[in-house]
Amino acid sequence: MAVSKGKDGGFYVGSTLVTFMDSWTLNRGIAVEETTSFGDDWETKCATVKNWNATFGGSLDRTDAQQAALLDQLEDGTVADVVIRLGITSASYWQGSAIVESDSLQGGSKGVVKFSGSLAGNGELTWTGV
């Protein structure tokens, strides 16, 4: 069994690798609704729909077209879904359409300016793997 190495992965907008990104997180879930009825001794629930969200982070590079497009959505651009890939390799990844929820920029006198963001999944998340 082979483990996945973080250095082999990447954060992509469409099929284009976003430069200077060094982390991503994928959170998957299922919405749950309570179905408890009068007379039940225990609470009961049922699964309803799947959901997902993701975060990404790295160093700011406004010359990278994908970083610029993500930043633009929260500045003066048109808000639109983006197709993202969260790769463990260039050929093995999760992909889905997402809405940019928020971003964060952090600078300091030492080091580089950091750029991170949060994405809300908008529809199906698929896995492609080899």
Instruction: Tell me what percent of the residues of the chain surpass a pLDDT of 90.
Output: 90
Q: What does the pLDDT look like over 102-118, one tens digit per residue?
A: 999 999 999 999 999 99
Query: Would residue 74 be called left, alpha or beta, if left means φ above 0 and alpha means ψ between -120 and 50 degrees?
Result: alpha
Q: What does the pLDDT look like over 4-37, one tens digit per residue?
A: 888 889 999 999 999 999 999 999 999 999 999 9
Return d(Cα 98, Cα 83) in angstroms, integer.
6
Alpha helix (H) residue ranges in 34-106? 65-73
